[in-house]
Structure 1
């Protein structure tokens, strides 16, 4: 493992233990050259996922990018970090379970919105406003109406949302 401080490849593992939900191994490392200490996480990866962007570009799936996006939506919200980690692990498992190596960015976005809806309404609206590219106040009104309706999964006409996810 390369040292993030000096770039040396001569690092040693000082401590290893599973994370609280046992989905990863947490390793404390020290660099033999500069003495820097850092933590790494080792996770099981079932397949190499590629995200197909709206522009047509293909990029490797990045779990850390997913986590950063969720953390931005949840900034200053009272949500237990363990619940966030479980949600992210669940999204990654769902993506891997699709059986496709290439997934659309829309699929990822809809799964994140679905997960945030169960965690925190404010984070859900924050994420939706960026993901759906809100341009007017009425865009917020529409999503808030859907959020506050008794059956949030269906619209007023009884039709399911256009997410495309079963």
Structure 2
């Protein structure tokens, strides 16, 4: 059966059936099949795979013309390339010194800055200590009260 289907499928594609016999254990003469078989007519317009593209109206290609702006831009680019070829500049990362990387570090007034920073730090530490002292005393008093209440509660319960 498989052989017959292959022959019929190939016949449909070629619009003719081969003559002769089919081998492989089947004894059917294809001449007899071809006399009784009618091929369907296929309309090629019915089997379009893609829809047709709409007509754009353009019949020929139009070459682009370089505008004044693009001409100036290409000349500027060529000028930059020529200057770069003459001077052969190196990247800044390769030529900069370590102290230049991070900007002005204020070497002239470094001692004045150190005095200001250290003075502000000591003043800030003094204020923190001033406000922290009463809080520490309150925590210590709270811990003593809690310890005394725990002792009284333990005696009442009998622990």
Q: TM-score range by the shorter chain?
A: under 0.3
Larger radius of gyration: 2
Between the two structures, name the one with larger relative contact order (CA 8 Å, sep ≥ 6): 1
Which protein has the bigger strand share?
Answer: 1
Which protein has the bigger helix share?
Answer: 2
